[in-house]
Amino acid sequence: MPQDNNGKSGKSSGFSVGLIIFGIVLFILTTAGCYFVIKSALAPLMPQETQSQSKANGFLVPLGEFTVNISDVSMSRYLKTEIVIEVSDAKIKKSIEEEQLPVVRDQIISILSAKTVADLDSPHRNELKEEIKNQLNKRYKNAVNNVYFNSFIMQ
């Protein structure tokens, strides 16, 4: 058998290389397992997108920014928001943008200024969207599909 200068045989130790490979494979499997366990455990806590939030089905009409006083005892609170509505018909979109924008904005200002701070809290925002949508649908014969807030600041 050939020998090194150190007196050891030329055969490398299979035990240490095998142990290193086994450790790397075990590490990769453990890491992947932890990832899937943590992902499935945290999934119920992550916000879920509904179809109405993720995809617009019509034509978006930006209504601009609204700044209104909130109905409050001291009248020192106000709301600043930017609203976009989604309509199902291109003719109605054109009509709102070119002729009816002041009327639509007035309707929304009336709705917003009648609200209290409690009415505008996060849990009630969907109710506010529905109220705006229902009021506009009375005028536009159910052509308004959705109402979106691009910003929403109360002070």
Structure confidence at residue 149 (pLDDT): 93
Q: Identify the CATH class of 51-154.
A: alpha beta
Distance, first Cα to last Cα, the chain: 87
Give pLDDT, residue 6.
54
Per residue of the chain (155 residues), give pLDDT as tens: 455 555 555 555 556 888 889 999 999 999 998 888 888 887 777 665 544 444 567 899 999 999 998 887 776 888 999 999 999 988 989 988 898 899 999 999 999 988 888 888 888 899 999 999 999 999 888 889 999 999 998 88
Q: How far apart are CA 58 and CA 97, in angstroms?
A: 15
- H or E stretch including 17? helix 14-42
Q: For 67, which DSSP code?
A: E
User: Which pTM does this prediction carry?
Assistant: 0.62
Report the alpha-carbon distance of residue 144 to residue 140 in Å, rounded.
7
Strands, E assignment, the chain: 59-69, 78-87, 144-154
Rg, Å, the chain Cα set: 31
